[in-house]
Structure 1
Amino acid sequence: MTGSLTPPFFEIGPKNLLRRREIESVAVAAGRAGDDHGVTVLLTVPTALVAPVEGLGCGVRVLAQGMHTDRLGPSMNRVTAESLADAGAWGVMLNHDADPLDGTQLELALQRAVEVGLETVVCAATQHEAVRFAALEPTVVLYEPPSLIGTSRAGRRDWIATSTEAIHRAGHAVLAMHAGGISTPATARAVMAAGAEGTGSTSGVLSAPDREAAARQFIAATRIGWDEARRAWPATTR
């Protein structure tokens, strides 16, 4: 695990779409691009691939796709916080649209992550959820409206600046990530320029003919958008 997170950052979440070698190829390309452009890259991988991807030492911060809240004990087929930390995970993504948690489960998962030093990215479907989750003080709140997930909508997202401010008010040092429908580098740039501290894309990177090149383009665009926002609102961006 490597230190605290600062913006700008970009997340890629391969879900279970790729085999290990393919994920590793994306990881290496994304890590190099992140280093070139000053963008922290988060890569959310299947649990069994946390250790090998982390072992590449390519500069990406490896997130697990989720975890159980069980403590160490005689359970079987449970992914504990301790096992993720021992595998080298930087953090864990919680409450993804494909793996939702109820309120009690989420709070316990956050507690367990803190106990072992894992950073946390908590997914929210609405601004109300984003603010409520920010009060629990995860590392990142990812606000991703379900209507945008898996789409290629490039329109204005007028809620980004106001929801980012609301997340900051609710949670000390919580970072605001905005995603959903980030299908092109131009959309990633626009989202960052609108006030996001991080963004991400899965389909935009993984469906490209050249995934490695796509990762580089998205990461470069993330940096450009972040710099545009800082020039526009130097006193309000972190």
Structure 2
Amino acid sequence: MKEIGTPFFICNPKSYLYGEECLDLAKAADDFAEKYGVETFFTAPYADLAKINDNTENIIVTAQHMDPLSPGRGMGHVLPESLKAVGAKAVFLNHAEQSLKLNTLVKTIKKAKELDIITVVCADSLEEALAIAKLGPDILLCEPTELIGTGQTSSFDYIIETTTKIKEIDESILVMQASGISNGEDVYNTIVHGADGTGATSGIMEAPDKAKKLEEMIQAVVKAEKEIK
């Protein structure tokens, strides 16, 4: 498994971008990752993963979801081996927009580990985060569902409490906090209060200049890193 540098940043366009526009932002993220030395993940629709992987060198190409199946039957599902084959190094699981039952999540995390794919697993409450921590995800994204896309970040108390309690269960898990991240200041505050990483969707997608907003956020990661070291 690739060792993940911290603090890290995840640019998550969801389905706002696809094709050439998605590739252009991925290339910008790739340039910023190299320029600022920040571990940067970039998610994309499945159909765009191969092209993004072929045209970047520094970002961690990330799938939005996968299913716990092996080659064979499974029409319409997302085959983990197919993601691995096109260069995906990480995968989101249990996002509020693609939530999983516990038994499915257990199987999918196990499958990702077998294929050496980094897991970014979402939890929408402290209770769910603590339960998922026992499954050994690589990154645990603590993101209250009600704050997604609102521009309102989690409280500093929530960030500190969830991060501390997850580390008590498994100190190797990286804890990501990303609710409502809208600008560089949000990124900075989230990381200096203990998160191993953060990321954004609408904060970048709704900006007049998406690449400029992404760079602002990655610069804030660098600023926060200097503060905590």
TM-score, with length taken from structure 1: 0.91
Amino acid at match of 2:197: G
Distance across 1 between alignment mates of 2:225 and 2:130: 22
Classify the secondary structure of the residue corresponding to 1:158.
Answer: helix
Distance across 2 between alignment mates of 1:59 and 1:84: 18
Contact preservation (8 Å) 1:34, 1:40: yes
Mapping 1:79-228, distance limit 5 Å:
79-153=78-152, 156-228=155-227
Distance across 1 between alignment mates of 2:46 and 2:68: 15
Unpaired segments of 5 or more residues in structure 1? 231-238
CA RMSD of aligned residues (A): 1.5
TM-score, with length taken from structure 2: 0.95
Amino acid at match of 2:142: Y
Contact preservation (8 Å) 1:182, 1:204: yes
| Alignment correspondent of 1:38 | 37
Rate the CA distance shift 1:154–1:124 in 2: closer, same or farther, 3 A: closer
Contact preservation (8 Å) 1:27, 1:58: no
Cα deviation for residue 154 of structure 1 reads 5.3
| Alignment correspondent of 2:9 | 10
Cα deviation for residue 168 of structure 1 reads 1.5
- What per-residue deviation string (whole Å, max 9, x for no partner) do you get for residues 207-233 of structure 1? 111111111101111221232233xxx
Equivalent residues, number: 229
Distance across 2 between alignment mates of 1:113 and 1:154: 29
Unpaired segments of 5 or more residues in structure 2? none
Contact preservation (8 Å) 1:44, 1:65: yes
Cα deviation for residue 62 of structure 1 reads 0.9
Contact preservation (8 Å) 1:192, 1:222: yes
What's the % identity of the aligned pairs? 34
